[in-house]
Amino acid sequence: MILRDFVRAVGQLSDPRFRRVFLLGIALTFVVLVMIYIGLFWFFEAVLPDFESPLFDGTPLIVSFFLVLMFSIVLMVPVASAMTSLFLDDVAAAVEDRHYPGLPPVPRTSFGDSALDTVNFLGVIIAANLVALVVYVLLPFSTPFLFYALNGYLLGREYFQIAAMRREGRKGAKELFRRHRTEIWMAGILMALPLSIPLVNLLIPILGAATFTHLYHRVSSRRTPGSSGASSRNPAPR
């Protein structure tokens, strides 16, 4: 069932609204990463007067390229996920328009609420992964298992609640998450598997939002036999 949700999400990647969210997310991610890099450069230049940036000291392009790829594995995914989450309402709406026609309209999430959720998600995922680094060092054999389990849980919770809040409200989304936590976690792990693949990992926020929109409609329909999910409910307040 989870794989079917994922396959349906992949099948909609050509949707113009998906492409728009992807490009906006990548553009904002690039801006944020450049700002982070400049901030770190100024910090090291102040602390270590002899520090030189590899972008300005003649380092060969091939070395810089691989450094950027390594950097993206550590930081680009959480930043891209956070930036893209500002626009995931558009992804969920595109999924519902194609696969769940006839649903009652829902109010668009305000930019303030989206920005607050984005900051919270970015803080949690970075903090959790920084703490996990300690475990990676102490127990290196556990690194892949912990990485996918941790990020699968975080991604699953975030993307499911984004999808569910549109029609259930924040409280209803949290309640649905508690009831289906294991299934959502497994779907989150599926989203986390490509995280270590540079460039491919940038599609995960969009695929995650689409996959969990399908998952939300599937699990919500179980509450009322014969119901088609949220189509028979009015959206709850956020």
User: pLDDT tens for residues 3-47?
Assistant: 899 889 888 888 998 888 888 877 777 777 667 666 666 665 566
Give me the pLDDT at residue 224, please.
Answer: 53
What is the rounded CA–CA span in Å between residue 164 and residue 174? Answer: 9
Tokens of 38: 């400049």
Using CB atoms within 10 Å of the CB of residue 38, give its burial: 0 to 12 exposed, 13 to 18 middle, 19+ buried.
Answer: exposed
How many residues are listed for the chain in this entry? 238
What percent of the chain shows pLDDT beyond 90? 14
Range 65-74 average pLDDT: 54
pLDDT at 71 over 90: no
First to last CA, the chain: 28
Place of tokens 């999924």: 95
Spatial CA neighbour of 144 closest among 108, 180, 195, 95 = 195
Tell me the pLDDT tens digit for each residue of 179-214: 999 999 999 998 888 876 767 777 888 888 899 999
* Contact between residue 218 and residue 1 where contact means Cβ atoms under 8 Å apart: yes
Closest CA to 159 of 126, 192, 194: 192
Q: Give 178's pLDDT tier (boundaries 50, 70, 90).
A: very high
Residue 166: per-residue pLDDT: 84
Taking the C-alpha atoms of residue 40 and residue 36, their distance in angstroms, rounded to an integer, is 6
* Tokens (6 digits) for 200: 């491919």
Ranges 82-86, 94-98, 135-139: which has the least confidence: 82-86
